[in-house]
Homo-oligomer: A and B are copies of this chain.
Amino acid sequence: MIDTPSLVDQYCHGVLRTELGLGTFEAHLGGTGGPPAPGTTFFDTQTGFAVRRWCPPLLGLEPHCPPARYLARRRELGVLESGRRLLRATGISTYLVDTGLPGDLTSVPETAAAGMADAHEIVRLELLAEQVADTSGTVDAFLANLAEAVHGAADSAVALTSVAALRHCASVAPEPPGPGEVRGAAGRWLDGRTVGGRLTDPVLLGHLLWIAVAAGRPLQIHVGVGDPLPLTGFAAATAGLGTDLVLLHGYPYHRHAAHLASVFPHVYADVGPALARTGAGAAAVLAETLEHAPFGKLLFASGSRGLPELHVVGARIFREALERVLGGWVRDGAWCRADAQRVAGMIAAGNARRVYGLAG
């Protein structure tokens, strides 16, 4: 009854270019990098059940068919063809792609081509800093190149993203770290580092975040499952600076993320990745996100990585939850249909078009 327009997926990754066996496919369903517990399988999860519900029909099989049968059909079609069929069935017309993940994933233009859609790049700040470190000989060169690289990314990319900042409370301190502190941290990091070494120093992460705030592009912050309190301080500190913050993956603190979006004009929150993992129970999580957030502050994302099946379930579960929740409110008389339709369009695509400056 609620007619969702084509979606803007404001945060996802590319899909794997290689054929997948059952075990690799299952590992990507788990999403943790680790194995399932003995006697269990990641197919026995909400995501696993959702994949079995939505994807087999797109490859010509019955819903809920056994995983082995699905994987056999997928290999029969080939990774390219099955990827195309799946992505083109998502209803996503624009992908914003975080290219900062390792692995043999489709590039931004390849993702666009496979999905017959538009696609734009999101630059991951930590990877950018690590790449700059790989090619900078001195602390001075590193810091100058870093600032240049972040501003360059802000010119070319649709958004910047930080995945690590919130793991280290100190890096979301309400003030940028001082220049001496940054130089010291950079020196220690570069000294101890071999090529490819990861950035986890809180001072440097904080510095990186504040450079990104200054660069003006929307800044996507991965919230994770930790205490959301430090985020409040950072949101307060960056209010009025002209850069939007988009909180990603707030579950199980999605109500906090939505609350922050209601308090700070420059703070937005995603809707979708938590739904995709919640499967049959997604309507409840969506309804919770819609409790306090202004409807202009929520943006759909699939959050999917690696498997085009995850893009499918991200989009399908989102649409179905939206229909269930908003449609239910219309049926109860709480909302009028026109409002429900309008809000669906805002969360599905309109808010993202406005925040990221995408063509309608």
A residues neighboring B (CB under 8 Å)? 30, 32, 34-42, 44-46, 49-50, 53, 63-64, 225-227, 229, 232, 251-252, 255-256, 259, 262-266, 268, 274, 277-281, 284-285, 287-288, 290-297, 325, 329, 332-336, 339, 343, 346, 354
A334–B294 CB distance below 8 A: no
Q: How far in angstroms is the closest Cβ of chain B from A275?
A: 10
Complex Cα gap A50–B336 (Å): 11
Complex Cα gap A294–B278 (Å): 11
Given contacts A42-B294, A45-B294, A255-B252, contact A64 B336 (CB under 8 A): yes
Residues of B contacting A35 in the complex (Cβ-Cβ under 8 angstroms): 265
Q: How far in angstroms is the closest Cβ of chain B from A338?
A: 8
B280–A332 CB distance below 8 A: yes
Q: How far in angstroms is the closest Cβ of chain B from A64?
A: 4
B277–A281 CB distance below 8 A: no
Complex Cα gap A354–B225 (Å): 29
Residues of B contacting A288 in the complex (Cβ-Cβ under 8 angstroms): 281, 284
A252–B256 CB distance below 8 A: yes
Complex Cα gap A252–B334 (Å): 22
Residues of B contacting A266 in the complex (Cβ-Cβ under 8 angstroms): 37
A49–B335 CB distance below 8 A: yes
Residues of B contacting A232 in the complex (Cβ-Cβ under 8 angstroms): 225
Complex Cα gap A10–B37 (Å): 19
Complex Cα gap A72–B354 (Å): 30
A259–B334 CB distance below 8 A: no
**Which listed residue (B41, B46, B278, B335) contacts A280, Cβ 8 A?**
B335
Residues of B contacting A285 in the complex (Cβ-Cβ under 8 angstroms): 291
Given contacts A45-B262, A262-B45, A334-B49, contact A292 B280 (CB under 8 A): no
Residues of B contacting A343 in the complex (Cβ-Cβ under 8 angstroms): 44
Q: How far in angstroms is the closest Cβ of chain B from A268?
A: 8
Residue ID in chain B nearest A41 by CB atoms? B296
B36–A265 CB distance below 8 A: yes
Q: A30, A279, A294, A295: which has the most chain B beta carbons within 10 Å?
A: A294
Residues of B contacting A34 in the complex (Cβ-Cβ under 8 angstroms): 263-265
Q: How far in angstroms is the closest Cβ of chain B from A250?
A: 11
B53–A334 CB distance below 8 A: yes
Q: How far in angstroms is the closest Cβ of chain B from A53?
A: 6
**Which listed residue (B40, B49, B252, B274) contacts A296, Cβ 8 A?**
B40
Q: How far in angstroms is the closest Cβ of chain B from A30?
A: 8
A225–B335 CB distance below 8 A: no
**Which listed residue (B36, B262, B290, B296) contacts A281, Cβ 8 A?**
B290
Complex Cα gap A185–B335 (Å): 51
A296–B44 CB distance below 8 A: yes
Residues of B contacting A293 in the complex (Cβ-Cβ under 8 angstroms): 45
Complex Cα gap A64–B340 (Å): 12
